[in-house]
Structure 1
Amino acid sequence: MSFKILVLVYLLAVLAYAQETNFVYNGFQTDDLSLDEVAGITPNGLLNLGYDTKQQKGPAFHSYPVQFKNSPNSSVFSFSTPVVFAIRPQFKTLSGHGIAIVVAPQRGLHGSLPSQYLGMFNQTSNSNPTNHVFGLELDTILSSEFQDINDNHVGIDLNGLTSVKSAPAGYYADGGKFKNLTLISGKAMQVWVDYDGTEKQINVTLAPINVRKPKTPLLSLTRDFASIINENMYVGFSSLTGWVVTSNYVLGWSFEVNGKTPALALSQLPKLPQIGKKQTSKVLTIGLPWVVLFVISMLILSVVYVMRRKRKFAEVLEDWERDYGQHRFNSKDLYITTKGFRSQELLGTGGFGRVYRGILRTSKIVIGVKRVSHELRQGMRELVAEIISIGWLRHCKIVSLHGYCRRKAELLLVCDYMPNGSLDKYFYNLLVVCL
C-alpha cells in the first residue's frame, strides 16, 4: 500500500510539473534553471550563456516541462515569451554566433554542436522532421550553408537552422519607420515571441529595452505548430561563443500559455557589467591636470609669499631688550603706517638715516619714523639705551620719543611729528628706531 501511495504522489508531482503554464524571472538564481556546459549565473543574477570561452555551448532550460497541448493530436495552445538579453563580444565588430530561444522535447539538446549549429543541431540532425524543435535565432554570424540573410538577423527555425523566415535585426517605431539594431552592440534589448493557437500565427518583435513593445512585429509567420511541438516540452536558451570570446546574457524572462504574458519588471533586472574601461570625459583628462597644476602653483606661490612676508617683517628680539620691551614697536605696523616707507612720505635725510611721516592706526597720532642706517657703528644695546634715555627728556624744542623697532640689521625710531618740518629735532630725539 505504501508503495502505491509513493507512486501516486510521484505521478501527481509529474503531472503538476507538466501542467505548469507560466513563470517569470526578473533575474536568476542558481536553482531556477537547468544549466549545462558553460552556462552559468553571475552573483548579481545574470544568466550568462557564453561565459567568456571559445567554441562552447551554453544551454539553459526551465527546470520543468510546459504543457502545450491537451493531447498529442490536438492543436498547440497560444503562448508568448518576452526575453531581455544582451550580446557582448570581446571586440566591437566580431562575436560568436548569438543566442537562440528554444522549445525542445528535452532539457538540453544532446549531440548538438557549437559554432554555426547554435548548439541546437548537428550535421545529421539538422532539418530532421523528428526533431520537434522550435527555435528563434538571434544570429550574429552569416552562415551561407544555412542561407542566412546577413550577420545581424532574427530568424524562425523549425527543426533546422535554415530559417523559415528571417529579417534584419531592428524594429518599427511609432509611425512605421524601421530602425536598425545591432545585436552585438552590448546593449540590453527585448524580444517578444507570440504564437496564436487559433490563428496559427507566430509574431516576433524586437526593440531596445527602453522602448515599449512596437505595434508592428519584426517577423510574422502563419504556420500550424501542431506537427512541431509535442504535448509537453521544455523551454530555454542555447548559445555559442564561436572563435571570438563573447558573453551572451539573459537579464529577464517570462513565459505564458493561454493567458496574458506576465510583464517583466525592467527596473528590477540585474545590471550588465561595465564594458572595458569607463570612458573619461575630456574635461577630466585634459582640464583636471591643468586645474590641479594651477591649484598647486597657487599654493606654492602663497607659501612663498607668506614666508617672504614673514621674513620681511621678522624681528630680532634679544634678552637684553626685555628692559625696553614697553618701548618696542612692531615693524609691520610701522611699515603700514609709513605706506611702505614710500618716497611720498619722506620728510628728510640726516643723522644716519631717513625720516618718514606716518599715522599710528591705534591712536591716530601723527608720528615721524627714522630708519637708521645699517652702517651705524655704535653697539645696538648701547644705542637703544641711549635713545630710550633721550626719550625721557621733555622740552619744547625736542620731540617726544615713543619707542623703537629692530628688524634684522635695520633700526627704526618713532617720535612725534613736527609740522614745521625741522629735521634737526628728529636727529636729536626720535620716537622709533628700526633696523
Structure 2
Amino acid sequence: MVLKIFTWVLLLKLAFSANDGFTYNGFNSANLSLDGLAALSSDGLLKLTNVSKHAQGHAFFSLPLQFKKSPADSVISFSTTFVFAIVPEYPTFGGAGFTFVLSPSKDMSHALPNYFLGLFNMTNNGKPYNHILAVEFDTSHSPEAHDIDNNHVGIDINGLISNQSAPAAFKSDADGQFKNLSLSSGKPIQVWIEYDGIDMQLNVTLSPLWMPKPKGALLSLPINLSSIILDHMYVGFSASTGIAYSYYYILGWSFKMYGEVPELNLSSLPSLPQPLTSFEKSKALSIWLPIFLSILVLVTAAILKLIMMRKKKFSELQEDWELDLGSNRFSYKQLYKATGGFKDKYLLGAGGFGRVYRGVLPASKVEVAVKRISHESRQGVREFVAEIASLGKLRHRNLVQLLGYCRRKGELLLVYEYMPNGSLDNNLFGEGRQALNWGQRFHIIKGVASGLQYFARRLGPSCDS
C-alpha cells in the first residue's frame, strides 16, 4: 500500500514538474514514448523512421500537458522549438513527411502511412472528433492532400488537408524577403511554433541552424484552438514513409506552456550520421566494383555453360528431307521427360535391337513405349526413316501402332503405342502363365493373320522386299 501511494506521488510530481514544459538537448535521458519505426540512437538522436517503406513512427512526451485551466477556458499560450534534419533515399524524392503534433492520445495504431502522415486514416480524416493540431513538413507532392509542392510547411487541423501552407523558407531580417529552404537537404533546420492564447494566433517560423530566429514567421494563422485542443494533450512527432523512405531526425526539442520557450543549446546537440565523402564513395566503388563484375562474369559464364550443356543434351539430328515426312517426329526433349530421363525403373525390356522404356508424353499424358536403337552408319537411314513414316500411317486393331520417331547422332528412337497387357510372346511363354487351349490359340492366329493381311494390302509390293 505504501509503495502504491509512493508511486502515485511520484507520478503526480512528474506531472506537475512537466506542467510548464521540458528541454532536451539530445535525447539520451528523454522521457519519451516511442512506437512504430521511431527509435533513439546511442548518441542521443531521435530517429522517427528507418529504411522501411509504407510505414510510420511516433514519438510523444510521455506525460500529457494541461492546455486549459478548465473545459470552459481558452487554450493557454504555448511555444516549442526543435531542430530536425531529413535525409532522403533519393536526393529529389523522399518519404511522405513528418509533423509536430498535439493529440489527445499517444495511440496512433489506427493511422496510416504515406500521405496520411501517420495521423489519420480514410475514415477519420477531417473529422472534428480527432482533436488534432499538426504542423507538417512535407517532402512529397500528394494530390490527395491538396499539396502545393513537394517541399512545404502546413498547418493541419483534424485532417491531412492543410488549413494554411507555404513553400519551405525563412524570412530574411536584412531585406524582408523569403529565402527558400530545402527540407530534405540533409542539413539541420530549426523551427519555432508559437500560439498566442490572447491574440489567438498560431505562428510557424523556420531558419537554418545557427541563424538567429527570424522576426517574421513563415506561416501566421489566426485561429481559436479552444474547440480543437482539449484540457490535456500529448505533444510529439509523427513521421511517414511511402514508396521511398527518408530518415527523419530530431536533434533537440524544447516545449513551454505560458511564456517564451527556452533556447536550445545548439553546441550540445548530437551530430547527424556523416554521409560517405566522394573519396570514400570512389574508394568503396574501386573495391566493390571489380568484385561485383568478377562475380557477374562468373555467373554469366556458368549460365551460358548450363545453356550449352542443356542444348547439347537435347540436341537432335534433322535434315531437310525429313520435313516431307509429316508430323511423325517427336523432340528428344519430349521423350526424355516422358521416360524420366530414360531411367532404369521405366525399362520394359532389352534386346539386340535396343532397349524399350515406358513413358508418358508431357502434353497429352498419353502412355507410350520408346525404343532406343543405335544407328552409327548413315547408310540407308533415309530409306529406313521413310519406312517408319509409312508404318506410322497404318491403323489396325491387331497391329501395335507406331506413333513416330526421333533421330539423334548415333541414335534412333521409335515411339509406339503402349500395350499395358504386355506382348503376345510374354503371354504365351512367360513364367507362371497357364497353357492356352486350342480355342484361344485359334483366336490369336486369326488376329495375327488379319493384321498381316491388312499390312500386305497397305504396303503392296514393298512388303515382299
Specify if TM > 0.5. yes
The residue that corresponds to 2:236 in the other structure is: 236
> In structure 2, what is the Cα distance between the partners aligned to 1:12 and 1:178?
47
Contact 1:201 1:220 in 2 (8 A): yes
Contact 1:61 1:108 in 2 (8 A): no
The structure that is helix-richer by fraction is 2
**In structure 2, what residue type is equivalent to 1:241?**
T
Further displaced range: 173-182 or 216-225: 173-182
The residue that corresponds to 2:111 in the other structure is: 112
**In structure 2, what residue type is equivalent to 1:127?**
G
> In structure 2, what is the Cα distance between the partners aligned to 1:16 and 1:265?
23
1:176 lines up with 2:212 in the alignment = no
The residue that corresponds to 1:59 in the other structure is: 58
Contact 1:191 1:204 in 2 (8 A): yes
> In structure 1, what is the Cα distance between the partners aligned to 2:146 and 2:244?
22
- Give deviations 1:317-347, integer Å, cap 9, x for gaps: xxxxxxxxxxxxxxxxxxxxxxxxxxxxxxx
> In structure 2, what is the Cα distance between the partners aligned to 1:48 and 1:157?
22
- Identical aligned residues as a percent: 46
- Give deviations 1:202-241, integer Å, cap 9, x for gaps: 0000111121110000000000000111111100000012
> In structure 2, what is the Cα distance between the partners aligned to 1:278 and 1:13?
48
The residue that corresponds to 1:314 in the other structure is: none
The residue that corresponds to 1:35 in the other structure is: 34
Contact 1:59 1:108 in 2 (8 A): no
Q: How far off its partner does 1:168 sit?
A: 0.5
Contact 1:80 1:256 in 2 (8 A): yes
User: Unaligned 5+ residue runs, structure 2?
Assistant: 284-465
> In structure 2, what is the Cα distance between the partners aligned to 1:253 and 1:177?
27
The residue that corresponds to 1:198 in the other structure is: 198
The residue that corresponds to 1:13 in the other structure is: 11
The residue that corresponds to 1:96 in the other structure is: 95
The residue that corresponds to 2:123 in the other structure is: 124
Contact 1:60 1:108 in 2 (8 A): no
Contact 2:130 2:158 in 1 (8 A): yes
The residue that corresponds to 1:163 in the other structure is: 162
> In structure 2, what is the Cα distance between the partners aligned to 1:245 and 1:129?
30
**In structure 1, what residue type is equivalent to 2:98?**
I
- Equivalent pairs counted in the alignment come to 280
**In structure 2, what residue type is equivalent to 1:206?**
L
**In structure 2, what residue type is equivalent to 1:112?**
A
> In structure 1, what is the Cα distance between the partners aligned to 2:149 and 2:198?
32
Distance 1:149 1:211, change over 3 A: same
Contact 2:101 2:235 in 1 (8 A): yes
Q: How does 1:349-368 map to 2 (within 5 A)?
A: none
**In structure 1, what residue type is equivalent to 2:74?**
S
Q: 3-state DSSP class of the match of 2:36? A: coil
Contact 1:241 1:247 in 2 (8 A): no
The residue that corresponds to 2:368 in the other structure is: none
The TM-score, its normalising length taken from structure 1, stands at 0.61
Q: How far off its partner does 1:12 sit?
A: 7.5
Contact 1:56 1:242 in 2 (8 A): yes
> In structure 2, what is the Cα distance between the partners aligned to 1:73 and 1:153?
35
Q: 3-state DSSP class of the match of 1:267? A: helix
The residue that corresponds to 1:212 in the other structure is: 212
- Give deviations 1:18-45, integer Å, cap 9, x for gaps: 6622100111126531000110011111
Distance 1:45 1:12, change over 3 A: closer
The residue that corresponds to 1:149 in the other structure is: 148
The residue that corresponds to 2:436 in the other structure is: none
Contact 2:152 2:166 in 1 (8 A): yes
Q: How far off its partner does 1:245 sit?
A: 2.6
Contact 2:24 2:30 in 1 (8 A): no
**In structure 1, what residue type is equivalent to 2:36?**
E
User: Unaligned 5+ residue runs, structure 1?
Assistant: 286-435
- Give deviations 1:115-139, integer Å, cap 9, x for gaps: 1100000001110101111000000
Contact 1:84 1:252 in 2 (8 A): yes
Give the RMSD, CA atoms, in angstroms.
2.1
Distance 1:12 1:279, change over 3 A: closer
- Give deviations 1:218-268, integer Å, cap 9, x for gaps: 000000000111111100000012121311100000000002211100000
Q: How far off its partner does 1:53 sit?
A: 1.5
> In structure 1, what is the Cα distance between the partners aligned to 2:226 and 2:245?
38
Further displaced range: 117-126 or 144-153: 144-153
**In structure 1, what residue type is equivalent to 2:180?**
N
> In structure 1, what is the Cα distance between the partners aligned to 2:182 and 2:227?
33
The residue that corresponds to 2:227 in the other structure is: 227
> In structure 1, what is the Cα distance between the partners aligned to 2:72 and 2:5?
27
**In structure 2, what residue type is equivalent to 1:223?**
I
The residue that corresponds to 1:185 in the other structure is: 185
**In structure 1, what residue type is equivalent to 2:246?**
T
Q: 3-state DSSP class of the match of 2:278? A: coil
**In structure 2, what residue type is equivalent to 1:13?**
L
**In structure 2, what residue type is equivalent to 1:251?**
L
Distance 1:15 1:129, change over 3 A: farther
Q: 3-state DSSP class of the match of 2:128? A: coil
1:278 lines up with 2:277 in the alignment = yes
Q: 3-state DSSP class of the match of 2:90? A: coil
1:252 lines up with 2:259 in the alignment = no
Distance 1:217 1:40, change over 3 A: same
Q: How does 1:315-354 map to 2 (within 5 A)?
A: none
Further displaced range: 6-15 or 64-73: 6-15
Further displaced range: 135-144 or 241-250: 241-250
Further displaced range: 235-244 or 6-15: 6-15
> In structure 2, what is the Cα distance between the partners aligned to 1:7 and 1:271?
42
> In structure 1, what is the Cα distance between the partners aligned to 2:257 and 2:80?
9
Q: How far off its partner does 1:8 sit?
A: 8.8
The residue that corresponds to 1:134 in the other structure is: 133
Q: 3-state DSSP class of the match of 1:238? A: strand
The residue that corresponds to 2:74 in the other structure is: 75
Contact 1:62 1:235 in 2 (8 A): yes
Q: How far off its partner does 1:6 sit?
A: 4.3
Contact 1:81 1:256 in 2 (8 A): yes
Distance 1:124 1:15, change over 3 A: farther
> In structure 1, what is the Cα distance between the partners aligned to 2:220 and 2:9?
39
Q: 3-state DSSP class of the match of 2:267? A: helix
**In structure 1, what residue type is equivalent to 2:11?**
A
Bigger CA radius of gyration: 1
**In structure 2, what residue type is equivalent to 1:125?**
N
Q: 3-state DSSP class of the match of 1:260? A: coil
The residue that corresponds to 1:427 in the other structure is: none
The residue that corresponds to 1:25 in the other structure is: 24
